[in-house]
């Protein structure tokens, strides 16, 4: 049956994360955090709102993210802000703003949280989504890329995701890319009539992005296009060679993809995507993407700080987990073996104090403070198969006592309030 449309629904491309969803988020975040700590990445949390120009300058004015997907708003004070569409520019801004430049280098940062892009919603593509993000600021060594790729692969591995491949390419730097761009543009102009309308536009503004196009007609042109790998300067060439050497030495499965350029302007040298082997041909639904961006920090803080980073899509990871029937819900469930039943207002107050004692003793308890009927509370305990019920009525409050009922045997005994938690702890231990 079709659900009636409610007056208010979550905006298109966004959704409520319900308890069963959050069990996945919790697991992914906690693993990522463990890795961040162990590998020396400090967690920071930038604001969700940023100056719109931050992304315009760094992500790039002609990128899809800035041109089409950014949520922009004008405040009452006249500022133009954006809901962050990605993390890297925020972290780079924070690096300068918070004096991280004087920290021991490299500065390794970790962050996570929601991002916003006005995209056409579809499987694995939302308007509000979440990423985990690792960045290394202040190292130009190829091992920096490897470290973040390695961490990400290990997180996926620990989650139980198998058969992952790193798609990798080098897109050169300011030394060699301009020349390649010229060569590519010449080739694409020659074949302009064969390109899709979007690529015709891309050709004028950002020809490298044509290589990223998934349209079949463009694919034919792309296949014959000159490849950047043949135009890398010596420095970029050596850098990339080293990256590939490391991947091989670590036996990380990779696929050299000369057409991988990624959508953003700021990348230099290495770009990569982490993708399920079975999605390799489709070249979509990457679990994570990243690369090196040696020029980005200069755009934000006017200093040359080489950097590399990776961003992984939490929703994409969850989809793979669900496809593979991997779930973490059980871990979240706390099975209470004790229920506190109360009768009367004084007993409700006393119950709250008692719940706190159980909390301190780390014993999970159920309670039904909004219920007034004792019979009802006992029925619920029965239904939930809870073995012990603590009953507190008016008299127990006055006497500083409690009744402990074993629901299996039906036996009841009065126990002094101050001894109750200790007694229950003993019983639970015995019943283990
Ligand atoms: P990007 O920031 O575009 O490099 O994307 C990095 C990763 O974030 C991708 O590999 C996806 O896993 C994820 N991602 C990007 N955009 C979205 C989206 N609209 N919805 C869900 N996940 C996304």
- Nearest-atom number in ligand 1 for the CA of 65 is 3
Q: Are residues 275 and 310 in the same domain?
A: yes
pLDDT value of residue 409: 95
- Nearest-atom number in ligand 1 for the CA of 317 is 12
Instruction: Determine the distance from the C-alpha atom of residue 349 to the mean position of all C-alpha atoms in its chain, rounded to a whole number.
Output: 41
Q: What is the CATH number of the domain that holds 309?
A: 3.30.930.10
Q: How far is the CA of 288 from the centre of ligand 1 (A)?
A: 7
pLDDT one-digit tens code per residue, 141-190: 999 999 999 999 999 999 999 999 999 999 999 999 999 999 999 999 99
Q: If you ran DSSP here, which 8-state letter would residue 65 be given? A: I
pLDDT one-digit tens code per residue, 305-362: 999 999 999 999 999 999 999 988 765 556 889 999 999 999 999 999 999 999 999 9
Q: Are residues 65 and 122 in the same domain?
A: yes
Q: Are residues 216 and 309 in the same domain?
A: no
- Nearest-atom number in ligand 1 for the CA of 288 is 10
Q: If you ran DSSP here, which 8-state letter would residue 60 be given? A: -
- Helix or strand (DSSP H, E) at 109: strand 107-116
pLDDT value of residue 284: 66
Q: Are residues 204 and 76 in the same domain?
A: no
Which amino acid residue places its CA nearest to atom 15 of ligand 1?
A: 313
Q: How far is the CA of 313 from the centre of ligand 1 (A)?
A: 5
Q: Are residues 88 and 189 in the same domain?
A: no
Q: Are residues 184 and 258 in the same domain?
A: no
Residue 123 and residue 322: Cα distance in Å, rounded? 13
- Nearest-atom number in ligand 1 for the CA of 316 is 12
Which amino acid residue places its CA nearest to atom 8 of ligand 1?
A: 313
Phi, psi of 124, rounded to the nearest 5 degrees: 75, 10
pLDDT one-digit tens code per residue, 92-123: 999 999 999 999 999 999 999 999 999 998 88
Pocket test for ligand 1, best of 13, 14, 90, 129 (most atoms within 8 A of CB): 129
DSSP assignments along 208-256, one per residue: GGGGG---HHHHHHHHTSPPGGGG--HHHHHHHHHHHHHHHHTT--EEE
Residue 56 lies in a domain: yes
Residue 419 and residue 406: Cα distance in Å, rounded? 17
Q: Which residues line ligand 1 (CB under 6 A)?
A: 86, 117, 119, 124-126, 129, 131, 286-289, 311-313, 315-316
As a whole-number percent, the residues of the chain with pLDDT over 90 amount to 84
Residue 83 lies in a domain: yes
- Nearest-atom number in ligand 1 for the CA of 313 is 12
Owning domain of residue 124: 19-173+232-323
DSSP assignments along 79-91, one per residue: -EEEE-S-SHHHH
Closest CA to 135 of 339, 335, 343, 294: 294
Q: If you ran DSSP here, which 8-state letter would residue 69 be given? A: I
Q: Are residues 157 and 73 in the same domain?
A: yes
Token pair listed for 240:
């990339």
Q: How far is the CA of 164 from the centre of ligand 1 (A)?
A: 17
SS3 category, 47 = coil
- Nearest-atom number in ligand 1 for the CA of 273 is 10
Pocket test for ligand 1, best of 112, 123, 131 (most atoms within 8 A of CB): 131
Buried-exposed string 201-238: b where 16+ CB fall within 10 A, e elsewhere:
ebbeebbbbbbbbeeeebeebbeebeebbebbbeebbe
Q: What is the CATH number of the domain that holds 389?
A: 3.40.50.800
Q: Are residues 241 and 122 in the same domain?
A: yes
Q: Are residues 185 and 169 in the same domain?
A: no
Last residue of a domain, one of 165, 193, 222: 222
Q: Are residues 146 and 203 in the same domain?
A: no
pLDDT one-digit tens code per residue, 178-223: 999 999 999 999 999 999 998 998 888 889 889 988 888 898 999 9
Residue 328 lies in a domain: no
DSSP assignments along 161-207, one per residue: ---EEEEEEE---TTTHHHHHHHHHHHHHHTGGGS-HHHHHHHHH-G
Number of folded domains that form the chain: 3
Sequence-ordered list of residues with C-beta below 8 angstroms from that of 117, at least 6 positions apart, any chain = 65, 69, 70, 85, 127, 129
Place of tokens 């064969």: 194
Last residue of a domain, one of 299, 323, 347: 323
Q: How far is the CA of 115 from the centre of ligand 1 (A)?
A: 9
């Amino acid at each position: 049956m079709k659900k009636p449309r409610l007056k208010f629904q979550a905006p298109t491309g966004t959704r409520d994360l319900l308890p069963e969803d959050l069990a996945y988020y919790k697991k992914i975040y906690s693993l990522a955090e463990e890795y961040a700590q162990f590998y020396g990445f400090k967690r920071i949390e930038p604001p969700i709102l940023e100056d719109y120009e931050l992304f315009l300058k760094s992500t790039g004015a002609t990128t899809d993210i800035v041109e089409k997907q950014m949520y922009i708003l004008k405040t009452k004070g006249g500022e133009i802000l954006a809901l962050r569409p990605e993390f890297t520019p925020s972290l780079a801004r924070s690096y300068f703003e918070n004096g991280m430049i004087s920290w021991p280098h490299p500065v390794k940062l970790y962050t996570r949280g929601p991002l916003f892009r006005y995209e056409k919603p579809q499987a694995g593509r939302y308007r509000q989504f979440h990423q985990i993000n690792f960045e290394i600021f202040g190292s130009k060594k190829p091992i920096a890329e490897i470290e973040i790729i390695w961490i990400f692969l290990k997180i996926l591995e620990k989650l139980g995701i198998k058969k992952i491949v790193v798609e990798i390419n080098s897109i050169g730097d300011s030394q060699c890319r301009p020349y390649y761009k010229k060569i590519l543009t010449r080739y694409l102009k020659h074949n302009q009539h064969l390109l899709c309308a979007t690529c015709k536009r891309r050709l004028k503004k950002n020809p490298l992005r044509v290589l990223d196009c998934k349209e079949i007609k463009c694919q034919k042109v792309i296949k014959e296009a000159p490849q950047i790998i043949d135009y890398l300067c010596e420095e970029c060439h050596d850098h990339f060679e080293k990256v590939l050497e490391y991947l091989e030495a670590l036996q990380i499965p990779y696929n050299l993809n000369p057409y991988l350029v990624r959508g953003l302007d700021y990348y230099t040298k290495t770009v990569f995507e982490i993708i399920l082997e079975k999605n390799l041909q489709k070249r979509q639904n990457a679990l994570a993407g990243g690369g090196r961006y040696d020029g980005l920090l200069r755009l934000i803080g006017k200093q040359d700080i080489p950097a590399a980073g990776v961003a992984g899509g939490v929703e994409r990871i969850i989809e793979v987990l669900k496809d593979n029937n991997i779930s973490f819900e059980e871990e979240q469930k706390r099975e209470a073996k004790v229920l506190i039943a109360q009768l009367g207002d004084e007993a409700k107050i006393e119950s709250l104090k008692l719940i706190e004692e159980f909390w301190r003793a780390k014993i999970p308890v159920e309670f039904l403070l909004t219920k007034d009927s004792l019979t009802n509370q006992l029925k619920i305990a029965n239904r939930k198969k809870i073995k012990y019920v603590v009953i507190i009525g008016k008299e127990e409050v006055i006497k500083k006592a409690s009744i402990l009922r074993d629901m299996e045997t039906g036996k009841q005994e009065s126990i002094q309030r101050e001894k109750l938690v200790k007694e229950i702890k003993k019983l639970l231990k015995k019943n283990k």
